[in-house]
Structures are given as C-alpha cells and as structure tokens.
Amino acid sequence: MKKFKVVILFIWALFASCTQVDFKVVATASSPTKREIKAKLKLLNKPSVKTIKSEDGDIIDCVDIYKQSAFDHPALKDHKLQKIPDFLIESKNSSNLQTKSIVFQTWQKNGSCPEGTIPIRRIRTEDLSRAASLNLFGRKPIMHFMKSTNNTNSNYPIVNGSFAYVPENRTKAFLVTVGYSYIGAEAEINVWNPRVDLPDDFTTAQIWLKTGNGPQYFESIESGWQVNPKLYGDRSTRFFAHWTTDSYKSTGCFDVVCPGFVQVGQVVLGGAITPISYSYHTQKEIPVGMYWDNSGNWWLKVNNHIVGYWPAKLLSGLSRSAKSVEWGGQVYSPMLKKNTPHTRTAMGSGEAADGRWGNACYMRNLRIKDYSRNLKYPEYVSTRAEEPYCYNVINEAKYGQEPILYFGGPGFKPPYCP
C-alpha cells in the first residue's frame, strides 16, 4: 500500500514538473521570466557609489559617469565622453548657465550625487513586468498607419496622393516648422499633471526634432514631460527624453533605459517634476532645449542644466541637422480616432487650448537655431490637431507680441469627442 502511494506521488511529481516546464515555455513567449528580468536589471542598473531615496518612492543611483549604460551600445565602445558641448566652450561666460539652480525634480530634496557620478532612476522588477516584453520596455510603441481615402476624421497632414496616413493609437496637437536645416530648438513648457485613463495610455508635452523620409521613416530626438504609468508605475509628471533612428521600430527608448544617451549632468531622466501648475495659480514651466554641436552630437538642456547628449555615432541624418521641429502634445491610447468610447486620457492641462493662460497648457519662447547660429522664432509655422474635437491647438500670435502656443483637451467628451 505504501509503495503504491509512493508511485502515485512520483507520477504526480513527474506530471507537475512537466506542466511547470510547459508553463515556462509559454511564459518565455509572452512575459519575461524571473531570470530574464534579473539579467535585464543587472544590465540597466549599474553599480552605484551612493543611493538617494526620493520622497516619491524613486531610488536614485549615483553612477560613475564612465560606467553608465550608454557605453554598452556597440557604436559607443570607444566613445570618448564629452563633458560639455563645444558651443558652450566657444562662449566665454558659460559658467552663468548653472546659476539659476531651482529645485525642479522631487528627488533633489533628498540629496545630490558626488562629483564624477550621475543620478539615474533605478529600474525595478515591477517596472519591467508592466512592459509587454523586455524588448519593448521603455520604448515608444511602433507607429502603424491607417490608410484613409478620407481626410474627414482628422486633419492629419500626412497626405500621399489621395491617401492620408493616419497614425493608429496616437494623436497629436502641435505646431510644426519645416523648410530649413535646424540645429537647435527650445521652448518653455508649462507643466501640468493630466489624467491618464487606460493602462497602456500615456500623455506628453514635448518638442520633437526630426529628419527622414516621410511619416513612416524618420529619426527623432524628443524631450519634455509626460505622465506614463506603464513606464514609471505612477501618475506623476516626469521629465523625459526619447530617441529613435527608425521611427520607433527597433532603436531607441525613453530616458536611459537602453544604451545610447550619454548623461553628464545632475538631472534625472524620468525624474518627477515639482512643482506643477494649477488652474488660476502661478504657472510653472521648464525650459527645454536640444542643440547640435560641431561633432554632430545633440545636447539636451533643461532648466539651464546640461543633461547630456545623443552621440553623433548613434544617429545618421540627424547628426547633420533636423528637417522639422514640432512643439505640442501627444496622447497614446488604443481608444482613439475610430475606436469608441474615446479614452479619457487628457492632453496638456486637460483643458482645450481655448482656455488660454492659466487654464490651458502652453509653450512659449519657441525658438529654432539654423546655420546662422542664432536662436529665433521659426519663419514658417503651422498648427495641426489630429482630433481637433478632442484635443486642439491655438498659436496665439498677436501683432508685436511673443506668440504663445496653447494645446490640449480632455479626451472623451460627447458629443464632440465620443
């Protein structure tokens, strides 16, 4: 009788282990295994010299500047770290740049990183497990286009012959300039904390610098703020950067969650921004700029601090110049355009552009730099909203005054945005 029981146990154990193996195989195909997550975390989180616990729950690792993950990129194996851009070296009073040192990131209340190190937001297991796959972690989703013979559902500009290419699952309200080679762009971006509705949704207020061949093949570097619970695990407004050299297909990512962006300054990419704006209160803004230098690197600056750069070796056409600049907001969601009900994820402040100062999200002091090297207001600008009844855009350009760009909206709002 005892022997019989043992045999049954043995068979059960064999069966159980088989199902477990089976399960593991399935798990590899869809969601990452523990071992894969551990390996990825080891790659992402470099050893820290000092650790800062931010009151918002973030852990900030101070990492040796020469040991940052950028150098894991194959194109950057022999890359010589550049600590300051050459356009600052050229200018005599570069030291002035760092004087306006106001706290704009939450973690800064709890410490700073020692010299020779850079602050990096630690990625945790739960961050990775929210991603569709480890490979897709921290990247803007791939763009797919609905080919539409009608331009009615949106006034999207991408028209090829009689076809309009309408991007799926994302919507923008923005101002664009084209016509020159751009080697810099900046703006002061008003900071809000808009609602994010569905688990995959995110919302941004940002600047794009792009080059490439049409809507489906481009390189871009981008920066601004976003609310992105899937990436960050909360609904805070966070400073971000993003790059891609193949229209989000396989290269690039947000912040420094993949090798590429070389960080040199004391700003945390993906760090929460504080304080933010409220209706009818003092408006908060962050100046964001991206500037090309003579070696083809693109430098990112926020709040007068150098963050770091996208090395020329990472880029192709962009290492020479950008062919368009865009300023505005983007909402990513599976529930947009033809899919109803429309997502309630908001853009900007959540108010339409008509709300103007104190209500709607704005950008001001929009500037571009061309080969003349002077920062100036772009010559040709046009505004576009893909779903103007959900999120709109107004460029308020009164004669003799600095133009102000307003954009945003609440998303779902029947009957206009059903």
* Residues at the contact surface with ligand NAG, assessed by CB under 6 A: 53, 55, 92-93, 96, 109-110, 141, 144, 148-150, 152, 160, 168-169, 214, 216, 334
33 versus 110: smaller Cβ distance to ligand NAG: 110
> Measured from the CB of residue 140, what is the shortest distance to ligand NAG in angstroms?
10
68 versus 266: smaller Cβ distance to ligand NAG: 266
> Measured from the CB of residue 357, what is the shortest distance to ligand NAG in angstroms?
28
> Measured from the CB of residue 358, what is the shortest distance to ligand NAG in angstroms?
29
> Measured from the CB of residue 183, what is the shortest distance to ligand NAG in angstroms?
21
> Measured from the CB of residue 214, what is the shortest distance to ligand NAG in angstroms?
3
Measure the CA–CA gap between 366 and 245, rounded to whole angstroms. 25
71 versus 163: smaller Cβ distance to ligand NAG: 163
> Measured from the CB of residue 12, what is the shortest distance to ligand NAG in angstroms?
40
> Measured from the CB of residue 400, what is the shortest distance to ligand NAG in angstroms?
25
35 versus 144: smaller Cβ distance to ligand NAG: 144
9 versus 136: smaller Cβ distance to ligand NAG: 136
46: closest CA among 58, 36, 61?
61
Measure the CA–CA gap between 55 and 140, rounded to whole angstroms. 28
160 versus 279: smaller Cβ distance to ligand NAG: 160
56 versus 370: smaller Cβ distance to ligand NAG: 56
CA angle 366/368/372 to nearest 5° reads 145
53 versus 83: smaller Cβ distance to ligand NAG: 53
Pairing of strands 375-376, 361-369: antiparallel
> Measured from the CB of residue 159, what is the shortest distance to ligand NAG in angstroms?
9
Q: What is the 3-state secondary structure (H, E, C) of the chain?
A: CHHHHHHHHHHHHHHHHHHHHHHHHHHHHHCCCHHHHHHHHHHHCCCEEEEEECCCCCEEEEEEHHHCHHHHCHHHCCCCCCCCCHHHHHCCCHHHHHCCCCCCEHHHHHCCCCCCEEEEECCCHHHHHCCCCHHHCCCCCCCCEEEECCCCCCCCCCEECCEEEEECCEEEEEEEEEEEEECEEEEEEECCCCCCCCCCCEEEEEEEEEEECCCCCEEEEEEEEEECHHHHCCCCCEEEEEEECCCCCCCCEECCCCCCCEECCCCCCCCEECCCCCCCCCCCEEEEEEEECCCCCEEEEECCEEEEEECHHHCCHHHCCEEEEEEEEEEECCCCCCCCCCCCCCECCCCCHHHCCCCCEEEEEEEEECCCCCEECCCCCEEEECCCCCCEEEEECCCCCCCEEEEEECCCECCCEC
81 versus 146: smaller Cβ distance to ligand NAG: 146
Measure the CA–CA gap between 176 and 405, rounded to whole angstroms. 11
326 versus 351: smaller Cβ distance to ligand NAG: 326
> Measured from the CB of residue 60, what is the shortest distance to ligand NAG in angstroms?
11
Residue nearest to ligand NAG (CB): 214
> Measured from the CB of residue 163, what is the shortest distance to ligand NAG in angstroms?
7
